[in-house]
Amino acid sequence: MALPFRHLVNADQLTRDCAAEIFDVADYMQRVCDFKGRVDLLSDKILGFLFFEPSSRTMLSFQSAAQRLQAGVIFAQGKEMSSLKKSESVSDTVRVTSGYCDLLVMRHELEGAAAEAAEVSMVPFVNAGDGSNEHPTQCLIDGYTIRRELGRIDGIHIAIGFDPLQSRAIHSLARFLSKYDDITISFMSPEMLSPKPEFVETLRSRGVTVHVTHDMGHAASADVIYLNRLQEERFANAEDFERLRQKFTLRAATLAGRSPLVLDPLPRIDEIATEVDTLPTAAYFRQAHYGVPVRMALLTLLLGRF
């Protein structure tokens, strides 16, 4: 099985066929995690992880995936500790580090940094988040979770909040879902954080039914509720963040007795009350754990090992 790309930069590259392939391999990797712990698929490979923006789940689940596949890892975290601090360009950093490893993963604060990296990387490159732009491995985890928990992706109504303007996880997920049939997306956000009109237009042109709303009215009728924190670090004005951060919170009462699947790429700040955690369909911690098998699948497929 081969993926139709060498570098994963954005969600538009993920066709439904290749997502299905990644999900099937992830199911196998989940069994490896559960029953064997490790599998010798990448013991002759070195993976390079460059995390120039804060990360917990993405960084640790990539590391865990690498270890379960028995790959070696080289690693740089934070601009302070790398030559980016000395104003080295992204392309020079990637040109050099891609010569030290067999696959490179990078998170960077600048939109477009991933595309720049993919252009010069000598080895398969994976975007682990570029500013507010895209986070394609997160949408694979989201899609995998929806498939596991609901048994299908086609035909879902998903209510997405609360920062569709600035959340890269939301951007990638919406683009990814646009590959499936009969998708309805209800964006929920304060007006100031509405999705960009051209983004909504792209989704509509692909056949997605899109509602842009400024309350949580659509949450109760959705099959899936996908929430991501307001992206504090991307606000031009800290007062706007403080003013808006608690405007929208999912509470048990919001669900009005229904049981939609509730997802969140995490970290959770104000968007979901902790009382929701105990509901059986609150799946965000399971979703975080699926990050390991999904990333194991992606790494092995990109390296032609499956």
Interacting residues toward ligand NCD by CB under 6 A: 57-58, 129, 135, 138, 168-169, 228-229, 265-266
State which residue, 216 or 230, has the beta carbon closest to ligand NCD.
230
Strands 103-108 and 46-51: parallel
Q: Residue 265 CB, nearest distance to ligand NCD (Å)?
A: 4
Helical segments of the chain, H only: 16-31, 57-68, 90-97, 113-120, 136-150, 168-177, 197-205, 238-244, 284-302
Count the alpha carbons within 13 Å of 122 in the hemisphere toward its beta carbon.
12
State which residue, 24 or 232, has the beta carbon closest to ligand NCD.
232
Per the CB < 8 A criterion, the answer to whether 13 and 39 are in contact is no
Q: Residue 148 CB, nearest distance to ligand NCD (Å)?
A: 17
Structure tokens that stand for 195 in this block:
């999705």
State the catalytic residue, choosing from 16, 57, 147, 234.
57
Per the CB < 8 A criterion, the answer to whether 98 and 116 are in contact is no
State the catalytic residue, choosing from 45, 68, 107, 171.
107
Structure tokens that stand for 14 in this block:
């993920």
State which residue, 108 or 168, has the beta carbon closest to ligand NCD.
168
Q: Residue 86 CB, nearest distance to ligand NCD (Å)?
A: 25
- Nearest-Å Rg of the Cα atoms of the chain is 19
Q: Residue 128 CB, nearest distance to ligand NCD (Å)?
A: 8
CA 198, distance to chain mean position in Å, is 21
Question: Is-catalytic flag, 179?
Answer: no
Q: Which is it for the CA torsion 210, 288, 23, 108, positive or negative?
A: positive
If we measure between CA atoms, which residue out of 138, 172, 123, 102 comes closest to residue 287? 138
State the catalytic residue, choosing from 7, 135, 171, 179.
135
Can you tell me whether residue 237 is helix, strand or coil? coil
Question: Is-catalytic flag, 86?
Answer: yes
State which residue, 45 or 168, has the beta carbon closest to ligand NCD.
168
Q: Residue 287 CB, nearest distance to ligand NCD (Å)?
A: 9
Question: Is-catalytic flag, 107?
Answer: yes
Report which residue type is found at 289: H
State which residue, 201 or 233, has the beta carbon closest to ligand NCD.
233
Residue nearest to ligand NCD (CB): 265
Q: Residue 236 CB, nearest distance to ligand NCD (Å)?
A: 18
State which residue, 60 or 96, has the beta carbon closest to ligand NCD.
60
Question: Is-catalytic flag, 108?
Answer: no
State the catalytic residue, choosing from 7, 45, 58, 93.
58
**Catalytic center residues:** 57-58, 86, 107, 135
